[in-house]
Amino acid sequence: MKERQTLQRQDPGGSAPGVEFPHLPGIPDLVTRHFDPAADYPAVVDFLVAVNTHDVLESIPTIASLRIEWESMAMDPATDVLVAEVDGEMVGLAHHDWRQRGARIFHHMNVAVGPAFRHRGLGRALVDWTEAAVAASLAGGDHPAATTLPHILSAWAAPSTPGVDALAARMGYAIESYGMMMVRALADPIPDLALPDGLEVRPVRPEDHRRIWDADTEAFRDHRNPAERTDADFVAAFADPDTDTSLWQVAWDGDEVAGSVMNTIYPEENAQFGVRRVWLDHITVRRPWRRRGLASALISRSLRTLQQMGLEQAALGADTENLSGAVKLYESLGFRQHHVHANYVKPIEVPGTKP
């Protein structure tokens, strides 16, 4: 598989070497090349902002947040990100990373194509490159993820996007799960729910960051396909410029973290979409404190506090088949489905791995 992406040519419009591979469409002046970490972050952010705004995807990166995200992931931006350009303008982007989730290794891909260049074969070509890059990285057997666990290619996309289902079917992908974005207006009545007896909410102190993070990690292990988090994830979470722990609601039982709601405001996203929105990014309760109304109490406390700050809308993401019944809980607190994404998956055949 390696030879599929080793034919290179110099990009006359830049310093990074071009990369050629099968199924590149005949778009005039199309150049595909590796990402340049020293120069390309601003252009990638501009491209993703334009694509996500067009597709009404509520994710607006900044240069700082994207750099932190990519440099903390199990990927090398210099080799695992591919840029497509026409006359020096970015028209496509693909990247991949990997993470163990439960008893499988997921190789997650992200592929984006500018609206003016869709339905011309570029998306298919970028998926081809990503699949070949993942296969090549595993072929030598020395990749950190080259274990005997099954390997899965994975990509999230909105099934409602024209052409997504057809492309996925042609390339052998099937939907494994769905996730949804849920929203509620903060102007609507918010219940005033008391914390369970013996618990209290305290301001977040820097010396508590690790305990709060570890408690959140422990609670998420009960979710479907839980990700194996790393120290790099911890560092990245607290380095993100949008992380404001004064917005968090963390419940303590003595010295133990019982549960938390990690709220985040993304100013650039709000400005781009003309909203005053807050995200309830992580909502977790550890096992000993479940079934006592703690999650509902922490969410209601969050909503009331954020309403008092003048915010207008709260949002969260949820697995539609969450094992803890979280979707019903969110609906009981006024959240409603906004849009749905699907996780498209395909097994990778790696010698020495389980089927």
> Both ends of the chain: CA-CA distance in Å?
19
- Residue 7's alpha-carbon distances to 3, 4, 22, 68, 228, in angstroms, are 7, 7, 10, 31, 35
pLDDT value of residue 350 = 73
- Residue 25's alpha-carbon distances to 12, 111, 127, in angstroms, are 19, 16, 13
Reported as type and span, the H/E element at residue 267 is helix 267-273
Say if strands 277-285 and 313-319 run parallel, antiparallel, or are unpaired: parallel
With tokens 């922490």, the residue in question is 298
> Which position has the higher pLDDT, 57 or 217?
217
Burial class for 336, CB neighbours closer than 10 Å (0-12, 13-18, 19+): exposed
Q: What is the pLDDT of residues 148-195, one digit of tens each?
A: 789 999 999 988 888 888 889 999 999 999 999 999 999 999 999 999
DSSP 3: G
Q: What is the pLDDT of residues 1-19, one digit of tens each?
A: 222 233 233 333 334 557 8
- Residue 170's alpha-carbon distances to 62, 133, 236, 240, 342, in angstroms, are 34, 19, 36, 38, 16
Q: Which pLDDT band, with edges at 50, 70 and 90, does 222 fall under? A: confident
Reported as type and span, the H/E element at residue 112 is strand 104-113
Q: At residue 336, what are phi and psi to the nearest 5 degrees?
A: -135, 155
Please state, as a whole number, how many other Cβ atoms lie within 10 Å of the Cβ of residue 94: 25
What percent of the chain has a predicted confidence (pLDDT) above 90? Answer: 76
Opening angle at CA 143, ends 138 and 148, nearest 5: 70
For the residues of 140-194, what is the DSSP string, one character each?
TS-STT-SSS-EEEEEEE-TTSTTHHHHHHHTT-EEEEEEEEEEEETTS-----P
Query: What pTM was estimated for this model as a whole?
Result: 0.87
Q: Rounded to an integer, what distance in angstroms lies between the CA atom of residue 236 and that of residue 279?
A: 18
Q: What is the pLDDT of residues 45-93, one digit of tens each?
A: 999 999 999 988 888 999 999 999 999 999 999 999 999 999 999 999 9
Residue 352 pLDDT exceeds 60:
no
